[in-house]
Amino acid sequence: MPGARGALPGFTRIGLNLLQVDTVVDFDIYVWPEKSELPVLYRSRNLPFDAGNRERLAEGDVSEILIRDDSTGAVNAYVERNLDKIVARPDIPLEEKAKLLYDTSLKIAVDLLDHPETHENLRRSEDLVRNTISYVLLGKDSFHELLALKAYDYRTYTHSVNVCTIGLALAEKVGFSRQTELMDFGVGAIFHDVGKTKIPHEVLTKSGPLSDEEWEQMKLHPIVGLELLAPHIDFPKDSRAIVLQHHERLDGHGYPEGRRGEDIHPFAKVTALVDVFDALTSRRPYKDAVDSYPALQIMKEEVGDHFSDDYFKEFVKLMGE
């Protein structure tokens, strides 16, 4: 089949590594033999995929399969269900794991921010964070593979994924190493800007300075975020602190409550740092993206007033490893 052959209308190529042994695959699997003009159905949907199936494909030098374009939704759901298996497999290269994790995270984040109130989406956010923790803890190379995939065009959902993934790496580095701590951090980080979904689009994407009235609207998004998450009575207290406090500053000049110093939750301090880094390094309607090193130079000027000096030093080390 494989890689040298061109694209075929109506079909999409995916890597064989995406299929996990001992799972039910709810989409048709096609292969494209060299001597065939069209793909051939290899295995119908809703059948188990086992080690024998994988071995036969591998013996035929198949590294990619094809799916029909109308099965994309089923494939996305399959990857989400089996992401933990993909992350855990030692035979899948870090780069490939990173791409599957990041692409899946972006798809999930769209649903989370559109419907943050549903219990199912809270559960999905927890699964996503758990898998991201597992990936990040594979080592420093795993973090940099994820960082290389960072979306540089700002959208609320891409920003949420970036802050969650980069933030988890920094949170672990500054000492929040227990699984429960990282879980609470990650869930708060993925939802940190959910309140922006209720800010008028024209305000979020305005190319010029915000008016006083628009700025007051923008400053309400942490409070709005907490209101959107109110249906989840079991939403962790430390996660809520991220949603409410990620725009607070050490000098008390942040919002929405003007907290200062030790009154700001440590998780929120980590999130604030990563939040600004991602904003600086992403293209916005009113500015171009800044490269990582110049962004760190800009942020250095805010250490002590906005950011924790200790956390900033660890962040610089993380980026340079």
Q: Which structural domain range is residue 110 located in?
A: 82-320
pLDDT at 222 over 50: yes
Domain count, the chain: 2
**Domain ends where: 45, 70, 95?**
70
Residues 43 and 89 in one domain: no
pLDDT at 104 over 50: yes
Most confident of 15-19, 41-45, 237-241: 237-241
Residues 38 and 175 in one domain: no
Structural domain includes residue 14: yes
Q: How confident is the model at residue 1 (pLDDT cuts 50, 70, 90)?
A: very low
Strand order from edge to edge, sheet including 40-43: 11-15, 64-68, 29-31, 40-43
Residues 44 and 90 in one domain: no
Q: Which pLDDT does position 291 carry in this prediction?
A: 87
pLDDT at 16 over 50: yes
**Domain ends where: 21, 40, 70?**
70
Q: How confident is the model at residue 9 (pLDDT cuts 50, 70, 90)?
A: confident
Structural domain includes residue 8: yes
| Residue scoring higher pLDDT (154 or 310) | 310
Q: Which residues contact 78 (CB under 8 A, 6 or more apart)?
A: 18, 23, 25, 26, 27
What would the two tokens of residue 11 be?
A: 């079909």
In angstroms, the CA 106 to CA 112 distance is: 10
Residues 65 and 132 in one domain: no
Structural domain includes residue 172: yes
Q: How confident is the model at residue 152 (pLDDT cuts 50, 70, 90)?
A: confident
Mean pLDDT for all residues in the chain: 91
pLDDT at 2 over 50: no
Q: Residue range 218-235: average pLDDT?
A: 94
Residues 11 and 137 in one domain: no
The answer to whether the beta carbons of residues 12 and 64 sit under 8 Å apart is: no
The answer to whether the beta carbons of residues 75 and 131 sit under 8 Å apart is: no
Structural domain includes residue 223: yes
Q: Which pLDDT does position 156 carry in this prediction?
A: 83
pLDDT at 6 over 70: no
**Domain ends where: 21, 47, 70?**
70
| Residue scoring higher pLDDT (289 or 19) | 19
Q: How confident is the model at residue 209 (pLDDT cuts 50, 70, 90)?
A: confident
Residues 59 and 157 in one domain: no
Q: How does pLDDT run across 294-307, given as a tens digit for each residue?
A: 999 999 999 989 99
Show the CA angle centred on residue 167, arms to residues 215 and 202, nearest 5°: 25
Residues 217 and 93 in one domain: yes
Structural domain includes residue 301: yes
Q: Which pLDDT does position 282 carry in this prediction?
A: 86
Q: How confident is the model at residue 140 (pLDDT cuts 50, 70, 90)?
A: confident
Lowest-confidence pick of 42-56, 62-76, 278-292: 278-292
Residues 22 and 157 in one domain: no
Q: Residue range 167-174: average pLDDT?
A: 96
What CATH number is attached to the domain comprising 240? 1.10.3210.10
In angstroms, the CA 179 to CA 169 distance is: 13
% the chain with pLDDT above 90: 74
Residues 299 and 247 in one domain: yes
Structural domain includes residue 77: no
End-to-end CA distance of the chain: 39
Structural domain includes residue 49: yes
Residues 142 and 214 in one domain: yes
Residues 147 and 25 in one domain: no
In angstroms, the CA 69 to CA 46 distance is: 17
In angstroms, the CA 270 to CA 201 distance is: 27
Cβ atoms within 10 A of the Cβ of 226, count?
18
Residues 32 and 136 in one domain: no
Structural domain includes residue 75: no
Q: Which pLDDT does position 183 carry in this prediction?
A: 97
Q: Residue range 155-162: average pLDDT?
A: 89
Q: Residue range 14-21: average pLDDT?
A: 89
Q: Which pLDDT does position 4 carry in this prediction?
A: 47
| Residue scoring higher pLDDT (152 or 181) | 181
Q: How does pLDDT run across 240-272, given as a tens digit for each residue?
A: 999 999 999 999 999 999 999 999 999 999 999
Q: Which pLDDT does position 3 carry in this prediction?
A: 42
Q: How confident is the model at residue 285 (pLDDT cuts 50, 70, 90)?
A: low
